[in-house]
Amino acid sequence: MSEERKAEASSVGVGSLVDCVVEQIMPYGAFVRMTDSGRRGMIHISELSFNFVKKVEDVLSLQQNIKARVIKIDEKGRIDLSLKKAEERPVIHQAPLTRDEKDSFEKKMASFLKTSEAKIADLNSKMNAPRSGRKRGGGHPVKG
């Protein structure tokens, strides 16, 4: 790798959030040009959205301006980007449950288990009950 190329690669690092313009759309992803460095990178279809993406065109269009996060730079200097990782997803920290909340949960769980066991017992008794000796639709044949 030339010194000039190494300098370019170091200006964009893994984890960087970069502004890009979509240049080319392929069935497996999109090629983008980073506006700051002028370097080209690729966003794989699996990195476009947290939802299923059938076609890249469902998410991106040519010349669209986007923000993406650099997720990998390989030994040849190729840059992989992600729209998913560029989205800031808030981390929700929940406070620990209070004693009353724990007791309430325990009561609900005990009630659920009791009801569930009763339903299973009822179902088993119906399944194992002796059947009537008479066949359905049977009866006496019609003499004619």
Beta strands in 1-144 (DSSP E): 17-26, 29-34, 40-44, 65-73, 79-82
Task: Please answer whether residues 77 and 5 qualify as being in contact, where contact means their C-beta atoms are separated by less than 8 angstroms.
Answer: yes
pLDDT confidence band for 138 (50 / 70 / 90): low
For the chain, helix (H) and strand (E) counts, in that order, are: 2, 5
Residue 16's domain is classified under what CATH number? 2.40.50.140
Domain count within the chain: 2
Buried b (16+ CB within 10 A) or exposed e, 59-95: bbeeeeebebbbbebeeeeebbbbbbebeeeeeeeee
pLDDT: is 61 or 11 the higher one?
61
pLDDT digits (tens, 9 = 90+) for 3-44: 444 444 447 888 889 999 999 999 999 999 999 889 999 999
76-120: pLDDT as tens digits: 989 999 998 887 655 556 667 677 776 788 888 888 889 999 999
Domain for residue 132, yes or no?
no
Give the pTM.
0.55
Range of the domain at 78: 3-82
Same domain, yes or no: 17 and 67 = yes
Phi and psi at residue 35, to the nearest 5°: -70, -35
Q: Are residues 73 and 113 in the same domain?
A: no
Write down the pLDDT at residue 11. 73
- Give me the torsion for CA of 105, 110, 115, 120, rounded to 10°: 120
